[in-house]
Amino acid sequence: MGIASRRGTGDTKVDVPITPMLDMTFQLLFFFVLNYNPSAMEGQMDLSLPTPKDMVKNASKPEKPSEMPGDEEPPEEPPEVTVVVKTQHDGRSDGVISQVSILSNAGETPVPTPNGKLDQLVDQLKKMRDDPALINKKDVKLQGDSRLKWEAIVRVRDACQQAGFTNASFAPPPDLGLGGQ
């Protein structure tokens, strides 16, 4: 190594061996270039699940007696909106949205989804929010078939969000356990 020193004068020249350092640096750079894997921007959404209390309350609800004409109006159902999403089971298009309907106090309302688009669902949900009879205007339940793809549920959730239902929770699939894991 070319290290020279001179006593007394204070003039010292230090040669740093740059070549191996550059080799090492290029090795590292090459490593990072090969392993560079740009991924899409990820975002996240908060989530809520039905609490055990809700599930127990719904399970223990007594069956309604048959209504006679002229009777007092039965107590209202919990002010909730449920979006039910069904999928096909033909073995070819399993997982895509085949039917969407909205369950509410007014009953079940089917919503057309031409070409899988959910614009009409958004419009329908917005109308429901504008209805003064709807008390809870933020919460919505999503219920999908077991074989429905996760992507479809997220799209429906987005539609609910657009309509103003900002708090979406997930209900168990009606055919839970039949799909298997």
Q: Cβ of 65: how many Cβ atoms within 10 Å? A: 8
- In the complex, minimum distance from the CB of residue 69 to other proteins, in angstroms, rounded to a whole number: 41
Candidate residues 31, 93, 127, 138; the one interacting with other proteins per rule CB under 8 A: 31
- In the complex, minimum distance from the CB of residue 81 to other proteins, in angstroms, rounded to a whole number: 17
Structure tokens at 9: 């004068």
**Quick check: helix, strand or coil at residue 1?**
coil
Candidate residues 19, 60, 66, 181; the one interacting with other proteins per rule CB under 8 A: 181
How many angstroms separate the CA atoms of 97 and 143, rounded? Answer: 12
User: Toward other proteins, which CB reaches closer, 5 or 66?
Assistant: 5
Instruction: Name the segment binding other proteins (CB under 8 A); options: 65-73, 100-108, 132-140, 170-178.
Output: 170-178
How many angstroms separate the CA atoms of 181 and 178, rounded? Answer: 9
Binding mask 132-161 for other proteins (x = CB under 8 A): ------------xxxxxxxxxxxx-xx--x
User: Toward other proteins, which CB reaches closer, 82 or 105?
Assistant: 82
Q: What are the beta bridge partners of residue 103?
A: 82, 108
139-144 and 107-111 strand pairing: unpaired
The answer to whether 145 and 174 have CB atoms below 8 angstroms apart is yes
User: Toward other proteins, which CB reaches closer, 9 or 60?
Assistant: 9
Handedness of CA 150, 106, 129, 167 (dihedral sign): negative
How many angstroms separate the CA atoms of 100 and 122, rounded? Answer: 11
User: Toward other proteins, which CB reaches closer, 77 or 116?
Assistant: 116
Q: Which residues bind other proteins (CB under 8 A)?
A: 4, 6, 9-14, 16, 21, 24, 28, 31-32, 37, 39-49, 95, 144-155, 157-158, 161-162, 170, 172-173, 176, 179, 181
